[in-house]
Chains A and B, each alone.
Chain A
Amino acid sequence: MPAFTIDVVYQLMPLVVLLVGGLGFMLAGAMTRSAGPLQRGFALATLFVTLLYVFKLWGADAGPILHGMLIMDRFALFFLVVVIICALGTILISNGYLDRFGLNRGEFFSMVFFSTMGMGVLVSAYDLISVFLGIELMSLAIYVLVAFRRRDFFSNEAALKYFIMGAFAIAFYLFGVSLIYGLCGSTNFEAIAVAVSERNLAQQPVFLLAIGLIIGAMGFKVSSVPFHMWTPDVYQGAPTPITSFMATAVKAASFAAFLRLFYTCFMASKDQWVGIIIVLAILTMTIGNLVALVQRNLKRMLAYSSIAHAGYIMVGLVALSVDDTKAASAIMYYTLVYAFMTMGAFAVVSLLERRADERGLEGGDYAGLGLRRPFVGLCMAVFMFSLAGIPPTAGFFGKYYMFSAAVDQGYVTLAVIGVLNSAVSLYYYLRVVVSMYMQKSDEAAPTYDDYATRFVTLVALLAVLWLGIGPSGWVPGVETILDWTRASLAGVLELSSR
Chain B
Amino acid sequence: MITIHHYLTLSALLFFIGVFGVLYRRNLIVIFMSIELMLNGVNLSFITFARYTNTMDGHVIAFFIMGLAAAEAAIGLAILVMLFRNRRTVQADDFSLMRD
Question: Complex formed: what's the CA distance from A167 to B35 in Å?
Answer: 7
Q: Please tell me if A159 contacts chain B, counting CB pairs below 8 Å.
A: yes
Contact A187 B49 (CB under 8 A): no
Contact residues of B between 46 and 75, Cβ < 8 Å to A: 46, 48-50, 52-53, 55, 57-58, 61, 64-65, 68, 71-72, 75
How far does the Cβ of B67 sit from chain A's closest Cβ, in whole Å? Answer: 10
Contact A132 B64 (CB under 8 A): yes
Among the 9-residue stretches A34-42, A82-90, A230-238, the one with 4 or more Cβ atoms under 8 Å from chain B is: A230-238
Count of chain A residues near B, Cβ 8 A: 41
Among the 9-residue stretches A52-60, A173-181, A397-405, A449-457, the one with 4 or more Cβ atoms under 8 Å from chain B is: A173-181
How far does the Cβ of B91 sit from chain A's closest Cβ, in whole Å? Answer: 12
Among the 9-residue stretches A149-157, A267-275, A472-480, the one with 4 or more Cβ atoms under 8 Å from chain B is: A149-157
Q: Which of A150, A294, A300 meets B82, CB within 8 Å?
A: A150
Chain A residue, CB-CB nearest to B80: A160
Among the 9-residue stretches A139-147, A242-250, A373-381, A385-393, the one with 4 or more Cβ atoms under 8 Å from chain B is: A139-147
Q: Please tell me if A27 contacts chain B, counting CB pairs below 8 Å.
A: no
Contact A175 B98 (CB under 8 A): no
Contact A186 B35 (CB under 8 A): no
Given contacts A175-B42, A178-B45, contact A144 B55 (CB under 8 A): no
Q: Which B residues lie within 8 Å of A187 (CB)?
A: 57, 61
Contact B35 A168 (CB under 8 A): yes
Q: Which B residues lie within 8 Å of A469 (CB)?
A: none
Chain B residue, CB-CB nearest to A182: B49
Contact A178 B68 (CB under 8 A): no
Q: Please tell me if B2 contacts chain A, counting CB pairs below 8 Å.
A: no
How far does the Cβ of B41 sit from chain A's closest Cβ, in whole Å? Answer: 8
Q: Which B residues lie within 8 Å of A291 (CB)?
A: 100
Chain A residue, CB-CB nearest to B39: A171
Q: Please tell me if B88 contacts chain A, counting CB pairs below 8 Å.
A: no
Chain A residue, CB-CB nearest to B44: A178
Given contacts A153-B87, A178-B42, contact A171 B18 (CB under 8 A): yes
Report which residue of A133, A156, A178 has the largest number of chain B beta carbons within 10 angstroms of its beta carbon.
A178
Contact A175 B45 (CB under 8 A): yes
Contact B57 A174 (CB under 8 A): no
Q: Which B residues lie within 8 Å of A150 (CB)?
A: 82, 86
Contact residues of B between 16 and 30, Cβ < 8 Å to A: 18, 22, 28
Q: Please tell me if A136 contacts chain B, counting CB pairs below 8 Å.
A: yes
Q: Give the tally of cross-chain contacts (CB within 8 A).
A: 109
Q: Which A residues lie within 8 Å of B50 (CB)?
A: 181
Is the interface on chain B under 10, 10 to 19, 20 to 34, or 35 or more residues? 35 or more
Given contacts A182-B45, A187-B61, contact A156 B87 (CB under 8 A): yes
Question: Complex formed: what's the CA distance from A232 to B28 in Å?
Answer: 21
Q: Please tell me if B79 contacts chain A, counting CB pairs below 8 Å.
A: yes
Q: Please tell me if A129 contacts chain B, counting CB pairs below 8 Å.
A: yes
Q: Which A residues lie within 8 Å of B46 (CB)?
A: 178, 181
Contact residues of A between 164 and 219, Cβ < 8 Å to B: 164, 167-168, 171, 174-175, 177-179, 181-182, 185-187
Contact B42 A171 (CB under 8 A): yes
How far does the Cβ of B76 sit from chain A's closest Cβ, in whole Å? Answer: 6
A109-146: CB near B (< 8 Å → 1, else 0) gives 00000000000000000000100110010001001100
Contact B22 A164 (CB under 8 A): yes
Given contacts A175-B15, A178-B42, A181-B57, contact A160 B83 (CB under 8 A): yes
Q: Which B residues lie within 8 Å of A294 (CB)?
A: 100
Contact B49 A129 (CB under 8 A): no
Q: Please tell me if B97 contacts chain A, counting CB pairs below 8 Å.
A: yes
Q: Which B residues lie within 8 Å of A151 (CB)?
A: 86
Contact B97 A154 (CB under 8 A): yes
Q: Which B residues lie within 8 Å of A333 (CB)?
A: none
Interface contacts beyond A177-B61, A181-B50: sample of 7 additional A-B pairs, CB < 8 Å, sorted by A: A136-B68, A153-B87, A168-B22, A171-B18, A178-B45, A179-B45, A181-B49
| Pairs A–B under 8 Å by Cβ, sample size 21 | A129-B57, A136-B68, A140-B71, A140-B72, A150-B82, A151-B86, A153-B87, A156-B83, A157-B97, A163-B79, A164-B22, A167-B35, A167-B72, A167-B76, A171-B35, A171-B38, A175-B15, A175-B38, A178-B58, A233-B98, A236-B98
- Top 6 A-B pairs, shortest CB-CB distance: A182-B49, A171-B38, A185-B53, A178-B45, A174-B42, A233-B98
